[in-house]
Each structure stands twice: as C-alpha cells, then as structure tokens.
Chain A
Amino acid sequence: MATIVEGVGLTKRFGTGDATVVAVDAVDIRIEESELVMLMGDSGCGKTTLISLLGCILTPDDGELRIDDELIHTVSEDLSIIRREKIGFVFQLFHLLPYLTALENVMVAMDIASTKTDEAESRATELLTQVGLIDRLHHRPAQLSGGEKQRVSFARALANRPKIIFADEPTANLDSRQSDNLMSLIQELRREYQTTIAIVTHHEGLKENADRVIQMKDGRIVTA
C-alpha cells in the first residue's frame, strides 16, 4: 500500500517565551492509502493541530510533510492548491454556507478548483445521491437535520476526489443513531471511492470502525 500522508518530526508551537505551548511535539506519522484512521486522546492533546498540519492548514515549526509522495514546502508553496487538490475536510459544526443549497454547497468546492459548472453539478448530484440526499438537493442547511448536514459535508469533502479526508469530530453534534448512520456511510464511501480517511474523535464507540487507532497525549503519539 502506498503512503498518502507522512509526517516526520512534525512540531507546532504556539505563543512565545515562557508562554510557549508545544501543541504537537516531534510527531512521526504515516497514513496509508484507503486506511481509516482514528486519532484519539484527551481534549487539548493536539489532535486538531496535528490534522491541521497534515491538512496543510497550519505550517509546522519543524519537521517534514509528504502528501502523496510529494514533499510539501510549507513555507514557500501555495498550500491552498494542495488543500483543494489533495485534501478534503469535514468539520465538527458542518460549516455549510447558509445561503447555498445542499447541491450548491458541494459545487462550491469544485468551483474553487475551477471545475466547469455543468460538470460540477453532475458530480455534486452524484455525490449527494450517494450519501442518500437525492431528495434534499435544493434544501438549504437550515432545512436539514444535523446528520443530513454532515452528509453534505462529506459529499463536499469528496467533491475534488481528494487523496485523504480529515474529519474533525464529525459525530460530536449528532445523536447515536445519526452517528451510527454516518459511520456506515463513511465505510461505504471509503469502499466506493477508495479514499483515505482520518477522523479525530472522542467517541470510544467509533474505534471498532477504524483500521488503526492513533492515541495522542501532550502533543505526542503514544500508540499508533
């Protein structure tokens, strides 16, 4: 299996002087193709910071990052290109644009990647059908349930055929039934699109869905 994401010695500090906090401390991590990885640990242990580094949202203070076998020059490169071409994000609070329909929320990710509108519409429809929202294409986020919003988020994350999806606490705002449904969907999507998925979660019950669980503590990986 090919390695999709590899971080070596990744370090991220916040603050200066005595107030410096090392959020991620010399972490080595590899995520393989088609893997479903769960990042777990207590609040403040550095999980979200780590996926932000791996997802090219934050730049590391030290260490090296490779995505799809390419060394990422985090200082000199335009990271937005990597984010839109290789990475998909799913957020805890869904973060759908309130003035767009479900279909348009998925299309917007492709618009950012300069995909033609008709092609984007066709793919967005296909993805929303895949996540079971064929009858909700033209609903706005305010008209959708939490579970439905998170499905739209996953469809948006898949829109540009990313190498990896990072999901930050995707079930935190869902009830247990919606969580189970979402995890089933994630498994299904992984099978369908062969996408690598890394999920940050507190939810112990989700462990059983993972290929591998990475435990973090105080900015370091304790078990991988």
Chain B
Amino acid sequence: MKTLFLKDMRYRQARVVLTALGITVLISLILLLGGIMNGMRIQARQYVESTGADVWISAEGSGGAFIGFSMVVEEYMAFLNSEPGLAPDSASPLVFAQARPTVGGKSTKAIVVGYKLGQLGGPKQAIAGEGRMFTPSNFEDYRPEDPVPYEVVIDEKMGLEIGEQITLGNEKVKVVGKAESLMFVLDTPLLFMDVRIAQKLLLGNTPHVNMMIAKTDKNEQPVQIASDLDALETIEARTLKQTLTDIIAYYVDEPMKAVQFLRVMLWLAAGILVGMITYVTMLEKTQEIGVLKAIGASNNYVMGLLLKQVILISAVGVILGLVLSYVFAAAAPIFVAIHFVESIIVACISFVVCCGSGYLAARKAITVDPMIAFRGEI
C-alpha cells in the first residue's frame, strides 16, 4: 500500500493544506527579501559602473565617494588632469546628492547627478527620439551670474514627458530628454543636469563638488594610482572595485542587516512550523501509531509513513513558495532580482530545514508504546 501516507494526508487535508501554505508564504518571503536585496545591489552598482571611471576621489575623512559628506574644491581638477597615471583631461567633477523634487505637485525621492556633459559621470546622449541632453555650461570659465538654462535629463522610467517641469528647491527645472534607465537603490530615479546647475540648486552655488572621477592611463594599475592619490592629505581616492564595495556596504548590506536577520528568522519559522504541525499531528495520531506498532509495524515502517508526509508537504510548500516568489517579484512596486541559482539553493536549504524538523518530530512519535493500543479510541 504505497499510498497509505497519501490516504492519511487526504483524511487530514485541512491541516496538510494549511501547513503547505504556511511554508509557501514563508519561502516566498525569504526569496523576496533576498530578491529585494539583490535588486538593491544591482541598482547600487549600475550607475557607478556606467560612468566608466577607474578612480573616485572624495574629501579626506568622508570615508568614500558615496559614503559620508564630501566636498572637494574645484581646483583639484587641474591637479588631477595633470597627474601622471591618470588619462589626460579625463578628470570630471561630480555632484551626487539626494533631493526631493516636486513632480506634478507631489514630492518625490530622486538623486541629482551634476556632471560635465561629454565627460565621465552621466550619459553622453539622450535616448533616440526622446529629446536631447541639457545645455552645458562653460565649466572652466563659469561665473555664477552667467545664464545657464535649468534643464534636466530624466530616467526613462520616471514617467515624465519632455517639456514637463520639476521643482527643485525654489527653482523650476525643465525636462529636455530621457536617458536609459539607471535607477539607483530602491528605484530612486537619477536626474542628470549640468554640474553648475547642480551646484546652484544643491550646494549653495559654491565652487565645490561632491567628488571627482577619472580614468587611468591604459598601462597603469588603478589600485596603484588610487593608492598614490590617497596618500595626499586632503583627498581620499578609491578604485572602482573599492567604490562598489563601499556603496554596496553603505546602501545595501548595512541597512539590510535586519532583513538578513529576518530571513534567518523566517527559515527558523518555516522549520518550527513543519516540526510543530508534524508533532501536533503525531500527538493526534498517537493511538494510531500505537496500533500500527501493536500489529507489527517496525519503527522504520512508522517513520517511513511520517517522513513521506513531511517530505511531500515540505516539497509542495517549497516549490509553491519558489513559484509564488517569482510572481510577486514581477508584480512588486520595486526592483526585485531573484537569482535562479540562489533561489534553488534557498529552496533546497528550506526543504532540508523543514524535513529536518519534521524528522525530529517523527523520531519522537515512533517512541509511542504499543500498549497504548489497549486504551482509548483512534
């Protein structure tokens, strides 16, 4: 009777379905939380990598280009452009600041990226048919009273049309073009504008930028160049790799420690759920197990029956959880990136945790004394 365990499960179907659903919800939550963190990591990387810069320079003591408060005086541009090891004239000023622009009357979250058009730091051209780039200022000969139009190139996924206006501080900025999507962490859109406009709107029109970025000469090692620059007293320099490590740690890993903890807790909850329900079911079946043992069932036979149920419930719960997490990820209002291999590993670990706790409960159940068959009702 290979289907004995199935018949028992059908008899207790409400409990079986609820247990499997409980696992499904927990597994999909574990995967979704992981997917949200992966999404944040991808978004944290994509802007930094898109700039093409090899070296990131920030103010001394800032802890890195995107980490602490960094204000670098513009004069460093000339120094960097003549620094041996860096590609000539590759150094570019960059304003990278969180802002709350008003879009269509609603305050929204965004990151303003101010850079020199045509240099490192932002797109060189708008998406074909989606407007144009902003009008550049003359960075080197710029005077604050010079009239530079307030123009912005927005992320294509921001949902704004060309010609619409964004309010930043007290100023209105006109959308002139759309760039390929480079959303920052948690779907924060990037607003690309001339570095001088960004200085005016966000840095009090002072001759400072948040950071400078540059390319190294082809034959140079970025690590060595960054190390040499870092030795200077007034600036910090990082390679692309170091910057990515910093940004992921700062924007994703550190704030998400609680989420990581929650994921472990959810695993534990899934295990406890299966163990607890298996154990409660065993208590309910004590008499039945006693009868099976009295009529000759070995511990292995009883264990086999119980484990088949645990394995089936866990497998169904985990597989449904896996499928559901992809459905939820597609419908989520933020970028969720569930890695297939990672999700399989998570599913396997979850399956082992559920089966393990079910096994512990089943092991307890098989110690039932067959004498119990002489008392009470099934």
Does residue B58 face the partner (Cβ distance < 8 Å to A)? no
- Which residues of A lie under 8 Å from residue B294 when comparing CB positions? 55, 57, 83, 89, 91
Q: Mark A35-78, 1 if CB is under 8 A from B, else 0.
A: 00000000000001000100101100000000000000000001
Does residue B301 face the partner (Cβ distance < 8 Å to A)? yes
Bound CA–CA A109/B295 (angstroms)? 7
What's the nearest-Cβ distance from chain A to residue B298, in Å? Answer: 4
**Closest chain A residue to B287 by CB distance?**
A95
Task: Give the segment of B3-11, B125-133, B198-206, B346-354 that binds chain A.
Answer: B3-11
Whether the pair A91, B296 counts as a contact (CB closer than 8 A) is no
Q: Mark B1-25, 1 if CB is under 8 A from A, else 0.
A: 1101001101100000000000000
Does residue A117 face the partner (Cβ distance < 8 Å to B)? yes
- Which residues of B lie under 8 Å from residue A117 when comparing CB positions? 1-2
Q: Counting chain A CB atoms within 10 Å of each CB, which of B2, B4, B287 scores highest?
A: B4
Does residue B371 face the partner (Cβ distance < 8 Å to A)? yes
Chain A residues within 8 Å of chain B by Cβ, number: 36
- Which residues of B lie under 8 Å from residue A83 when comparing CB positions? 293-296, 370
Q: Mark B350-378, 1 if CB is under 8 A from A, else 0.
A: 00000000000000000000110110111
Bound CA–CA A55/B370 (angstroms)? 11
What's the nearest-Cβ distance from chain A to residue B312, in Å? Answer: 16
- Which residues of A lie under 8 Å from residue B295 when comparing CB positions? 83-84, 88-89, 108-109, 112, 156-157
**Closest chain B residue to A162 by CB distance?**
B296
Q: Are A57 and B7 CB-contacts (below 8 A) given A81-B298, A83-B296, A93-B376?
A: no
Does residue A133 face the partner (Cβ distance < 8 Å to B)? no
Does residue A104 face the partner (Cβ distance < 8 Å to B)? yes
Does residue A97 face the partner (Cβ distance < 8 Å to B)? yes
Does residue A102 face the partner (Cβ distance < 8 Å to B)? no
The answer, among B293, B373, B376, B378, for a CB contact under 8 Å with A80, is B293
Does residue A92 face the partner (Cβ distance < 8 Å to B)? yes
Residues from 258 to 303 in B contacting A, C-beta threshold 8 Å: 287-288, 291-299, 301
The answer, among A48, A98, A99, A112, for a CB contact under 8 Å with B296, is A112
Residues of A within 8 A of B (CB): 48, 52, 55, 57-58, 78, 80-81, 83-85, 87-89, 91-93, 95-100, 104, 107-109, 111-113, 117, 120, 156-157, 160, 168
A93-B377, A112-B298 known, 16 other contacts, Cβ within 8 Å: A57-B294, A57-B373, A83-B295, A84-B295, A84-B296, A92-B374, A93-B376, A95-B288, A95-B377, A97-B378, A100-B4, A100-B7, A112-B295, A112-B296, A117-B1, A117-B2
Report the 4 A-B pairs with minimum CB-CB distance, sorted nearest first.
A84-B296, A99-B11, A83-B296, A111-B1
